[in-house]
Amino acid sequence: MKWSALLLIITLSACKSKGPVCIINASDIGKGGNGKLIILKDSGNKITAMYDAGWDSLKGGAYIFYPNQQLKSYTFYQSRVAVYNETYDDQGHLVHTQGSPMVDRVINELGLDSAYVQVYFYSVIKTYQQLNIKINNNAAVNYILRNDTSYSNMKSITFGITTSDLTRINMYSRIKYFDNCTEIEHILSDSLFLLKDPHIEPAPPRVK
């Protein structure tokens, strides 16, 4: 038996006015690639794209670059559907975002009385504080994000919960992150309501 979301929270899509220049190039992306990036190059040996291994058939990130190897866009996919995107102009301005940098959340049951939760955050030019999680009426718990080993430039956290005698889970999460380019602090928060069901869906967070 698995836990499924009763409520999906709508993600945000926005066109950005031109702010500060954020120069992100292929070498910057490669540093956070965990050695698992698929790299495509043109005839001049310039990097045109990078992909997390397996992104096309399952999920993961795709990076597209301008001819000067400066980042043009990043998109995270789930089952080939784009759930998060950042797009930059050729001068390095962030001109469009869609979705939330909390790109994925996975909840799997272990036996009949426990489950584990995995949460993933895209981390390029972002500094995250601790993830605050409150489940039902229990006290809130803070979790420190770690560098993820499955996806490039990703922070993640895995934690367990006891599900014995539970038919419903109300999970509330909140995290602050600092945009290192714009020097603006953001808050991601969501409320996820779960019940036991054979199918499970992630609920994207609201961006404040």
Return the C-alpha torsion angle 130, 125, 188, 177, nearest 10. 40
pLDDT of residue 197: 55
Domains of the chain by start residue, with CATH: 2-12+100-207 (2.60.40), 15-99 (no CATH)
Q: Determine contact, residues 74/28, Cβ cutoff 8 Å.
A: no
Q: Go through the chain and tell me how many residues it has.
A: 208
Q: Return phi, psi of residue 30, to 5°.
A: -65, -30
- The 10s digit of each residue's pLDDT in 108-147 is 876 677 888 899 999 999 999 999 999 888 899 999 999 9
Return the pLDDT at 107.
Answer: 82
Q: Is the pLDDT of residue 160 over 60?
A: yes
Residue 201 — pLDDT band, cuts 50, 70, 90?
Answer: very low
The model's confidence at residue 199, banded by pLDDT at 50, 70 and 90, is: very low
User: In the predicted model, what is the mean pLDDT of residues 2-17?
Assistant: 46
Residue 69 DSSP class: S
Q: What's the whole-number mean pLDDT along residues 1-20?
A: 51
pLDDT at position 158, please? 93
pTM (global) more than 0.75:
yes
Give the DSSP letter string of 142-183: EE--EE-SSSTTEEEEEEEEE-TT-SEEEEEEEEEEEETTTT
Distance of alpha carbon 131 from alpha carbon 119, whole angstroms: 9
Cβ distance 170 to 193 under 8 Å?
yes
Q: What is the rounded (10 degree) CA torsion for 99, 105, 205, 6?
A: 120
pLDDT tops 80 at residue 4:
no
Find the range with the poorest average confidence among 38-52, 135-149, 157-171, 177-191. 157-171
**What's the mean pLDDT in 9-15?**
45
pLDDT given at position 93 = 94
Q: What is the pLDDT of residues 34-78, one digit of tens each?
A: 778 999 999 999 999 999 986 655 689 999 999 999 999 999 998
The DSSP line for 17-62 is PP-S----BHHHHHHTSTT-EEEEE-TTS-EEEEEETTTTTSEEEE
Q: Decide which of 163 and 157 is more confident.
A: 157
- Whether 107 and 35 have beta carbons less than 8 Å apart is answered as no
At 200 the pLDDT is 43
pLDDT, mean over the chain: 84
Sheet containing 146-147: order of strands: 102-110, 114-122, 154-162, 146-147
Q: In this predicted structure, which of 56-60, 104-108, 149-153 has the lowest mean pLDDT?
A: 56-60
pLDDT of residue 41: 96
